[in-house]
Amino acid sequence: MEPRQEITQTASRPATPATDLARTAAALVPPGKGILAADETVSTLTKRFDALEIASTPSSRRDYRELLLTTPGAEEFISGAILQDETIHQHGSAGTPIAVICNQLGILPGIKVDAGTTPLAGHAGEHVTEGLDRLRERLADYRRLGARFAKWRAVFAVGDTLPSAGCVAANAEALARYAVLCQEQALVPIVEPEVVMDGPHTIERCEEVTGSVLHAVFEALLEQGVCLEEMLLKPNMVVPGDDCARQADIGTVAAATLRCLRRHVPPAIPGVVFLSGGQRDVVATRHLDAINRAGGPKPWKLSFSYGRALQDAALATWRGKPEHLALAQRAFYHRARCNGLAALGAYDEHEEDAHLGETAPQVPAGWRDD
């Protein structure tokens, strides 16, 4: 670790609440709203489409993203949408650029700018996120296309000896360099260090790893001079691994997640927007709701930036069929509304029964168990 003197000299530069970036960061986490992560790469979205036998073409991917963004009323609960390179260059079916459609709806357009993960040399089983080459120029281009914020995701596998110090340091450094470049180019960085759910690890191990990753990430952010008031954090919740024999109840996840954030996330951060990370959609909503209902200090807004947990029901309902569009939009509206309520700690599980009653006859059998 650097001597304290060094860190003090390079600490986050001061911000007044009135900077444009701080205002944009705050606008992404107003009460009862969160972010739609619709930034799957072409190859990831193609895999999801393939599983549902939807042809993956530029126009089908555009139609799907447009379906989500133009869902009537979704903007009541969705403050921003993270787009992907293909999407931000596309126009909607009526010829309007997608970023303009977002702005017209009051949804801030954002952009995924990392280039994905690659195996980290010398560290078996671990990955580093790439994309720093020419990032300054790419950020400037995206800003011109209308993006107001950006996202970079780092992944950390959990094991008895993972993540290694080398993996944590390499990814923390890349996240920090990305974040400071974003702020230079007038984009709010969303910093996403994801401790993944794959594996048999316990919730206690997830808490330990998430804490040390967050510690390293904030140290790197401060060293690079990132202004904390002008960014958002997108972490995982503290949950047991998928294959852990001892799963945790909703209250335990909420308590562990809050304890970890309180210990490692500075209060200067305006918002924490969780990823869903493979949690079932209703479970992700219940966790967010429990986190917001819990007592104790919560100096940041606690909301969502879900991908799968917002989209899965809508995608499985749509299946590429224009005649399913309205029903798919209702499924998306429902999840957005439930998560908006959860961001206020005001979600009621009975919401789910009412919605299923409405849509069940037209939803393919078993789609919730995909």
Annotated catalytic sites, by residue? 192, 234
Q: How far is the CB of 197 from ligand 13P (least distance, A)?
A: 9
| Alpha helix positions (H), 246-304 | 250-264, 281-293
Across 93-103, b (16+ Cβ under 10 Å) vs e yields eeeebbbebbe
Across 138-169, b (16+ Cβ under 10 Å) vs e yields bbebbbebbbbbbbbbbbbbbeeebbbeebbe
Cα radius of gyration (the chain): 20
Q: How far is the CB of 279 from ligand 13P (least distance, A)?
A: 8
Q: Which helix (H) or strand (E) holds 361?
A: none
Handedness of CA 267, 272, 277, 279 (dihedral sign): positive
22 contacts 230 by C-beta, under 8 angstroms: yes
The answer for 230, left when phi > 0, alpha when psi is -120 to 50, beta otherwise, is alpha
Residues in touch with ligand 13P (CB under 6 A): 37, 153, 192, 275-277, 306-309
290 contacts 25 by C-beta, under 8 angstroms: no
Q: How far is the CB of 309 from ligand 13P (least distance, A)?
A: 5
Q: How far is the CB of 175 from ligand 13P (least distance, A)?
A: 13
- Looking at the Cβ atoms of 65 and 308, the one nearer to ligand 13P is 308
- Looking at the Cβ atoms of 176 and 309, the one nearer to ligand 13P is 309
- Looking at the Cβ atoms of 192 and 230, the one nearer to ligand 13P is 192
Q: How far is the CB of 317 from ligand 13P (least distance, A)?
A: 17
- Looking at the Cβ atoms of 211 and 277, the one nearer to ligand 13P is 277
- Looking at the Cβ atoms of 223 and 308, the one nearer to ligand 13P is 308
